[in-house]
Amino acid sequence: MKGILFFLGSIFRWPVLNSKEFLILHVYLLGIYGITFLLRNIGLELSNFIFTIGLIAPISYLIYNGLPLDCLNYKSAIERELSSPN
């Protein structure tokens, strides 16, 4: 339960501490939804593929650039947060 509450608290703190990243993520997601909507209205069957690739691309990019394997381990996440300058 502590882990769930910790990650829930992190989610609530994230928009305030990193507002630029928060806005970039949401603009990106709105862009993917918009492109998918336009492709579906045009009648291309490619829209579902573009939507899937658009949602998988950010996490793939993070993994490629060295996302820590213990990113969901709340004990190591707490240690990283306590050692960060914020």
The residue-averaged pLDDT of 62-85 equals 75
Name the token pair of 31: 């862009």
* Domains of the chain by residue range: 2-83
The string of pLDDT tens digits covering residues 11-44 is 788 788 888 988 998 999 999 999 999 999 998 8
Q: What is the maximal distance between C-alpha atoms in the chain? A: 51
Contacts 24+ apart (CB under 8 A), 13-22: 17/86
Residue 1 clears pLDDT 90, i.e. is over it: no
Render pLDDT for 44-68 as a digit per residue (tens, 0 to 9).
888 889 999 999 998 888 888 887 7
Say what the pLDDT of residue 84 is: 67
Structure tokens at 25: 């993520």
Q: Measuring CA to CA, which residue among 51, 21, 49 is closest to residue 36?
A: 51
Does the global pTM surpass 0.75?
A: no
How far out from the chain centre does Cα 13 lie? 15
Whether the CB-CB separation of 36 and 47 falls below 8 Å is answered with yes
